[in-house]
Amino acid sequence: MKTITGIDEAGRGPVIGPMVMAGVSADEKDIEKFKSLGVKDSKLLIPGQRQLLFKEIKKIAKDYKIIIISPEEIDSALNSKDLNLNWLEAIKATDIINQIDSEKAIVDCPSNNIYAYTTYLLQRIKNKKIELVVEHKADIKYAVVSAASILAKVTRDNEIKKIQDKIAEPIGSGYPSDPITKEFIKNNYTKFPEIFRKTWASYKRLADSKKQKNILDF
């Protein structure tokens, strides 16, 4: 019986909070159980459904891994010469593959260049015999990847809730386009530096404009 691991992320785009990578492994026969539960891409589910499925997925899964990638680690990768967000995601995906024993891994690909992304993964995967599938929208096509997307999304939402609980005013979704998030950054970008991705354009624009204003005031 072949064991298959699905890998996906949540929180790639927000300016606030971590990105989360998750991997879920299951025997082929048990993947049908995910489908019966109604497991699908986390974006197609409401929060209550995701919370319920989060618990059920962990019961069915042969193994699972969740990696929380802090804003500081994301910024460090983006400020380095050798990394970008895609490669950081690939490194975390291979960390999961190397920790979960399976014959096949299916990875949701964030890069436009699937060949380059696959090559990058293969260079870092210890089990050279593993069957590797790398596809765009794998979280929609494969139930085991959908299961990983749910674990990642629920974990990301929980991390945002922890941040919100510590802060007395609304932070919004954390996405740069969210008006509440925009207002929050404007008023708090120096107060809570650890929650922001400082390499994001929305943060840098604000920080640079304030810096320029201070220089002019001086």
Within the chain, which residue ranges are assigned CATH 3.30.420.10?
3-164
- pLDDT for 5 equals 98
* Residue 94 neighbours by CB under 8 Å, 6+ apart: 121, 124, 125
- pLDDT for 218 equals 45
37 pLDDT more than 90: yes
215 pLDDT more than 50: no
- pLDDT for 1 equals 81
211 pLDDT more than 60: no
Within the chain, which residue ranges are assigned CATH 1.10.10.460?
166-211
152 pLDDT more than 80: yes
CATH architecture entry for 3-164: 2-Layer Sandwich (3.30)
Task: Kindly state the average pLDDT of the residues 175-198.
Answer: 93
Q: What superfamily in CATH does domain 166-211 come from?
A: Ribonuclease hii. Domain 2 (1.10.10.460)
SS3 101: coil
Task: Kindly state the average pLDDT of the residues 164-188.
Answer: 93
- pLDDT for 34 equals 95
pLDDT, one tens digit per residue, over 199-209 is: 999 899 887 77
Q: At what angle do helices 201-217 and 179-188 cross, to 10 degrees?
A: 40
- pLDDT for 210 equals 64
Task: Kindly state the average pLDDT of the residues 59-83.
Answer: 97
pLDDT, one tens digit per residue, over 110-131 is: 999 999 999 999 999 999 999 9
